[in-house]
Structure 1
Amino acid sequence: MKTATVRLSDVLLTALAPMIWGTTYAVATELLPPNHPLMVAALRSLPIGILLTAWSRQLPKGIWLWRILLLGSLNIGIFQALLFVAAYRLPGGVAATAGAIQPLLVVWFSWIILNEKPSKLSIVAAIAGFVGVGLLVLGPTARLDRVGIVAAIAGAATMGLGTVLVKRWKRPVSLLVFTAWQLAVGGIVLLPIALVIEGPITHLSTTNLLGFVYLGVVGTGAAYALWFRGIDKLKASAVSYLGLMSPIVATLIGFVLLNQTFTRIQLIGIAIVLMSVLIGQQTNRHRKR
C-alpha cells in the first residue's frame, strides 16, 4: 500500500479552524446579545447554511438524507447545545478542560469505526493535551458541576464521533455544499430548542449585527469548511489534536485585548498543548491509501 504525502499547508489550514473558534468567546461577550447562548448558536449556523445551500441549488438525496441529519446534529446542533449547557454551568476553564478529552475520544472512535489502531505515542499526546489545557485554563477556585461536566464531555464525544463519521463516509459533493448542508441542519435542530428555552432576541444593535456576520461567515462558514477539508486530507485523530489550539487562542486574546495576565502554570500549559499538537501530527506519517 502506498503512503500518502501530508502537506504542511493542509495542517496549517486545518489548524486555522480551531484558532478562529478561539475568538468566539471574545466576540460573544463583546459584540453579541447577552443571555441567549442557544439562539446565538442557532443564528451563527442556520442563515449561512441556508444561503450557501440555496446558492448551490443542491440538496442531499438517498442515503445522504439521514447521514446529513446525523452529521449536522452531531457536529453542530447537539454539540453546540451541549457546549452552551457546559458553559452556563461551569467556569470556562473547567468546560474547556473537560472538552479537551476529544482527541482521546477520536482516537478511540477511529479505532472502532476506521480500524485505525492507535499508537502509544498518540495516546500519550492526547493525555498530554488534556493535562496541558487543564493547566492553561483551570483555576484553583474552579467549581465542579456534575451536569456541566457530563455536558462538556458529551459535547466532545458528539463532535468527535461526527469528525470520524465524516472521514468514514466521504462527502458526495463539493466541500462548500457539504459544509452548507451540515450548518443548515444543525441550525434547524437548534432553533426550536433555543426558542423554547430562551425565547427570541428582541433587540439587535449594529454591533450585534456585525458580531453575527463575523461569527456566521468567518467563525462558522469558513471555519467549518476548513475543518471538514482537514478531515479529508488528514487522519481524523490528527485533526482532533489541532482542536486544542482553540483554548490557546482564547487565552491569548484575553491577554492581548481583555488585559488578562499569564501565570507560570499557564505558560507551562501552553507549552504542553503545543507539544501535544506537534506529536499528534506524527500520526499522519503513517497514513495510507
Structure 2
Amino acid sequence: MKWASETITPGQITLLRVLFGFLPVLAYAAARGVLRWRHARHLHHFLVMSVLATSAYYFAFAAGTALLPSGIAGALSGAIPLFSFLAAALLLRSDRVTPVRLLGVLVGFGGVLLIARPWSATGAVDPVGVAYMLLGSASVGLSFVYAKRFLSGLGIAAAALTTYQIGLALVTLLLVTDLDGVTDVAADTRALVGVVIGLGLLGTGVAYILYYVIVDLLGAVTASSATYIPPVVALAIGWLLVGEPLDLLDGVAVLLILVGVAVLRSAAGRPSPGGSGRAGT
C-alpha cells in the first residue's frame, strides 16, 4: 500500500486489492461447492458487509498508510479487536461490559495514543493518517458485530459469505472509483507486484482461504489469535526492510495494543456467572 500510494490513489489501491483478492476467493468457494442462488435473498446483508468489511475498511487503511510510515499504520491495525468489543458492547445484549474487558480496551487505546502522540508538537505522526486507520479499524470491528447479529444464523458457509462480500465490493468500487491514472502503478514494478500479488492475491485472497483452513483445523478461538501478528510484523518490516525509524515508544505502544487485545480475549473466554460455562468466541 505504501509503495503504490506514490503513484495511484487510495481508491485505486482498494480497487486493485479487491479485484485480485476476489479471484482466489471465488475459485476456492466454487471448488468447495458452497455458492447457492438462494443466498441472493440475503443480498442486503451482503451489501452492508461489503462496505463495512471490505470497501470502507480497505480504503481507510490505504488512505492512512499513504500518510503514515507503513510500520506505524500496521501497528494501528491492531486496534481492530478493540473496536469490535466496543461495538459488541453497545449493540449486542449478550456481550456485557465487565471491569476486565474495560481494562483491556483502556490499555489497548493507551497504545494507540502512544503511537498517535497528539501532544507532540513535532508532527512526526500525521493525525489524519491515524484517524483513517482508526476509522478502518472501527469499520471492520463493526462488521464482526453485524455478521454475528444478522448472518451467523443463516447457515451459509464462510467461503460463500466472503465471496459475496468481496464480489459486491468489487462492483461498487468499479462504479465509484476514478480509473484515470490507475495504470501508472505499472511504472513501479515493486509497487505493481506488491499490490497485485502481495496485497491482492496473497494478502486478501489466499489470506482468507488460509483463515478458513485454520478455523477448520484449530477452531475459531485459536484462529482469531492471528490478530496478534500483523502489527508486530508490520512494525518490524517497516524498520528492518524499509528503513523507517522506530523508537522505544513505538515498541511500547504495540505491546500495549497486544496486551489490551489479550485481556479482551481472556475475558471473552471466561464463563459468565450463572451461564453455561462455554467459552465465548
- In the TM superposition, residue 78 of structure 1 has moved relative to its aligned partner by 1.8
Give the Cα separation in 1 of the matches to 2:126 and 2:254.
Answer: 25
Q: Cα distance, 1:207 vs. partner? A: 4.2
| Mapped partners of 2:73, 2:21: distance in 1 | 27
1:68 offset after TM fit, Å?
Answer: 1.0
| Contact 1:96 1:133 (C-alpha < 8 Å) held by counterparts | no
2:54 paired with 1:81: no
User: Which residue pairs with 1:257 in the alignment?
Assistant: 241
Q: Which residue of 2 aligns with 1:135?
A: 114
CA distance in 2, matches of 1:97, 1:267: 9
- Name the SS of the counterpart of 2:186 in structure 1: coil
Letter in 1 for 2:249: I
Structure 2 gap ranges (5+): 272-278
Q: Within the alignment, does 1:285 sit opposite 2:258 as a pair?
A: no
1-structure distance, mates of 2:117, 2:184: 35
Distance in 2 (alpha carbons) for counterparts of 1:270 and 1:71: 28
1:86 and 1:149 in contact (8 A); partners too: yes
Letter in 1 for 2:11: L
Matched, 1:189 2:172: yes
> Unaligned stretches of 5+ in structure 1?
1-24
Report the CA distance between 1:244 and its aligned residue: 5.9
* Larger displacement relative to structure 2 (85-94 or 210-219): 85-94
Q: Which amino acid in structure 2 is aligned with residue 254 of structure 1?
A: G
Q: Is the Cα contact below 8 Å between 1:36 and 1:201 reproduced in 2?
A: no
CA distance in 2, matches of 1:94, 1:152: 10
> Is the aligned partner of 1:118 residue 2:118?
no
Q: Distance in 2 between matches of 1:208 and 1:87?
A: 14
1:139-150 correspondence to structure 2 within 5 Å: 140=120, 141-142=122-123
Match of 1:172 among 147, 155, 166: 155
Q: Distance in 2 between matches of 1:138 and 1:284?
A: 32
CA deviation string 1:86-123 (max 9, x = no partner): 44566768867876654343223213235211221122
Q: In the alignment, what sits opposite 2:232?
A: 248
Give me the CA root mean square deviation: 3.8
Matches within 5 A, 1:197-276: 199-202=181-184, 204=186, 207-211=190-194, 212-225=196-209, 233-234=220-221, 239=224, 243=227, 245-276=229-260
TM-score normalised per structure 1: 0.70
C-alpha change, 1:92 and 1:134, in structure 2 (3 Å) is: farther
Q: Which amino acid in 1 is paired with 2:164? A: W
1:70 to 1:284, Cα distance in 2 relative to 1, 3 A = same
Distance 1:215 1:91, change over 3 A: closer
**1:75 CA displacement:** 0.3
- Alpha-carbon distance between aligned partners in 2 of 1:156 and 1:192, rounded to the nearest angstrom: 24
Tell me, what secondary structure is at the counterpart of 2:44?
helix
CA deviation map 1:203-247 (0-9, x unaligned): 6265455321222222001334456776x8249xx95x8646433
Residue identity in the other structure for 1:125: G
* Amino acid corresponding to residue 163 of structure 1 in structure 2: F
TM-score of the two chains, using structure 2 as the length reference? 0.72
Residue 66 (structure 1) aligned with residue 48 (structure 2): no
1:227/1:146 Cα in 2 relative to 1: closer, same or farther (>3 Å)?
same
* Cα drift, residue 276 of structure 1: 2.1
Q: Which amino acid aligns with 2:45?
A: R
Alpha-carbon separation, structure 1, partners of 2:99 and 2:128:
32
The 8 Å contact of residues 87 and 142 in structure 2, kept in 1 or not, is answered as yes
- The aligned amino acid for 2:111 is G
Shift in Å at residue 273 of structure 1? Answer: 2.7
CA contact (8 A) 2:78 2:231 kept: no
For 1:177 and 1:138, how far apart are their aligned partners in 2? Answer: 41
Structure-2 change in CA distance of 1:209 and 1:114 (3 Å): farther
